[in-house]
Amino acid sequence: MSTPSSTAGGSPKSASTMFAKDLRDYQSNGLRLELAPFGLDKIYDYEAGGHYPVYFGDFLGTDYRYRVIHKLGSGGFANVWLCCDTAAEGLKYVAVKALMADMSTDDCPELRMAAKLKENYKDLCREVVKAVDLLHSNGICHGDLTPNNILQHIISLDGRPEDEVLRILGQPVRNPATSNEEPGHNLHTAPQYLVYPIRWEDVSITTVLPKPCLIDLGESYTPTQPPSDLGIPGPYRAPELMLDKTTGGFGADLWALGYTLFEMRTGERLFNLFDDGDNEYLEAVVEMLSPLLELWEKRKEWEVIADLLGKLLVFDPTRRISAREVLEHAWFRL
């Protein structure tokens, strides 16, 4: 899940404020890691209301059926673990998302929206635009539509012994946590170690299937009950979110969809900015979109996708075509 870029009141946090908070949390927690912390969840988030320490071999779930064997990733409010379903027939592996205590409520947006889409949830795995259309058709805005929230399926791990699963995905690497005062620690709220997620760049390409899946409904909302601010980062933010300080809607998703389609097709970002401030971003948008069609090579596919992007990346959110219209566009018929 993405990390919110603002306080609960909606005003952005400065880098110095966030850094100062990190220092306070670190000092109050009193823990440090022996290895580099990059790519890990924050050690100072292991406290009351935060992450719950999870270890290899732990059993998760209300009925303790999911045994932890690896870590899939981590986000602002949760860690995702690869687990063996001990209650299933044969060997079956599942992803278990463990939310921070303060975020783990019965009214959690992700659980609420997933329940609303339960009958059609598998359709989300077919293609990104169909997933967005499905959400919008059910009155739901994704709220954080970026390539980071589009995954690809991998070959089934079910039925494979654990040692084979770990050969495919790589052995998990631990980063021990120790106290500033003495080796080890005895804090009940803190873990003995953190776990680096799977290095997907090292996993064989034959393991990955060409089947996209849109994930992370943690920022999702209904247009009638928008959040005070969206956590969607940088250029995926529609211009009106900065110009009018609106709180989003379907149009904001469609802007992010256009940007995401460009990135998926080209492997490049539409805007490469040194500074992620609003002014530089808006200036880049104006410079890029005005001559959009002239930027593409005169080949049929480029002309057609330029037409599609030109209908999605529009300043006026009411003039952006819908996800259903995107599905019907000529580019998907080439």
Residues that constitute the known binding site: 97
How many angstroms separate the CA atoms of 249 and 255, rounded? 10
Which residue in this structure is represented by tokens 């009950």?
A: 225
How many angstroms separate the CA atoms of 289 and 315, rounded? 9
How many angstroms separate the CA atoms of 104 and 114, rounded? 15
Q: Which two tokens stand for residue 321?
A: 């075509």
How many angstroms separate the CA atoms of 193 and 79, rounded? 14
How many angstroms separate the CA atoms of 293 and 70, rounded? 46
List residues forming the annotated binding site for ATP.
97
Q: What is the sign, positive or negative, of the torsion defined by CA atoms of 58, 60, 64, 68?
A: negative
How many angstroms separate the CA atoms of 314 and 321, rounded? 9
Q: Which two tokens stand for residue 147?
A: 């390539």
Beta bridge partners of 59: 67
Amino acid at 276: D
223 CB contacts (<8 Å, ≥6 apart)? Answer: 139, 141, 249, 250
How many angstroms separate the CA atoms of 141 and 211, rounded? 22
Measuring CA to CA, which residue among 251, 4, 262, 219 is closest to residue 109? 219
Measuring CA to CA, which residue among 238, 216, 212 is closest to residue 312? 238
- Using the CB atoms, write b or e for 253-289: b if 16+ within 10 Å: bbbbbbbbbbbeeeeeebbeeeeeeeeebeeebeeeb
How many angstroms separate the CA atoms of 63 and 69, rounded? 17
